[in-house]
Structure 1
């Protein structure tokens, strides 16, 4: 069902989106929803792997900007939101076993374990609010699509078993807007900061810009540049490489929306 059928719009709150997901009804992507509120990626791992994953995030802050870490078994993160249930407040999750995607459930009650540690990571959907507020048009938002995401040839720094390529999200922008986007997002390191690449996608290992690895393709017009930001789907590539016996992530584009406001992010 479409977000509008749940009363969800850009003017919704983070709690509105969480409750719609918790009800089991809303299962869609969160791009363009609750635009004032910070959106986060999730990685949920057994405690025995949490130390290595924490070091992986610390070594790769562009794709893995860490906003919060739970205690083992806890399904709340009070510093992110009140009335938060990590087992149900994401529209769609991904369950991985030995590095293979095995399910995409809409809630985790039957899968939750007392040793699970949740990592909350910054998401580019949050800096989109700043770009839109500056007057830029984002085609995937205009078209109610998920942002296009690609695996690249840019390596991340390994930690324990976690390693793999950086994943990037792409937005086509006119040159003047691309320059302004660099200026705006460089002040927001909590949600990936400045782009990692502009222009020719082949230079970062993307063979076909119209075939994203995650999300939906969007047209790039003749007077536009593809602009690439580090993406919080990167940990899913690292998890696939590490092949843990069990872990959970969000489904790409289906984010946890928290109470913190986007205007509270950034440095000046």
Structure 2
């Protein structure tokens, strides 16, 4: 069995697809998967499912119906082979909540985080090329924005934001290793769309300034600094961080040495 949320929601077991079609069961299985092997309280599940409407008096009974529907979907997967007992062992009723049991290889987010750990270990060992390969594999796991196409309430929205932030940190880590081994053009290519999507993200702009200046494109790097400095002052009311100012000084220093 495998559940995927790094993109469109998918729940499948081999060739058997058991992704729910209805809105609330889709939210429910996504939220249970994102809390795999942990109990999710009825309170949190109800907050997610009825965030945009008055909570009905029948909420608990309706939630139980959705759980029953998910278990029926699980029952007829190859892994359960029609055995309702096995389905109940997968999706467990607990006091005041529910728990979905998944192995690390059965959920794409668990695999994503495990790959990040391997990439980090490679980087710490100075194996920069291998770290880049691992981080690249992490990035390829996203088939689009996390939970795309899924109606989400406040709980799932928070999870989606966390995953997007984690993906962004993976991009930053990959570029950091590209810079360390002098692959400046590749770093610039990766950073260009990211700095457009995140115009106030100082870390990305630090990396872009360094990649440009170290590749000999110093005037462009200084323009990047001036542009983000103006945006930070105009939109946030702050001066650039110490890291950004340091990247600018590095570019200026390179320019002075070059002249």
Q: TM-score range by the shorter chain?
A: under 0.3
Could you state the TM-score of these two structures normalised by the residue count of structure 2?
0.25
More helix by share: 2
Larger Rg: 2
TM normalised by structure 1 equals 0.24
More strand by share: 1
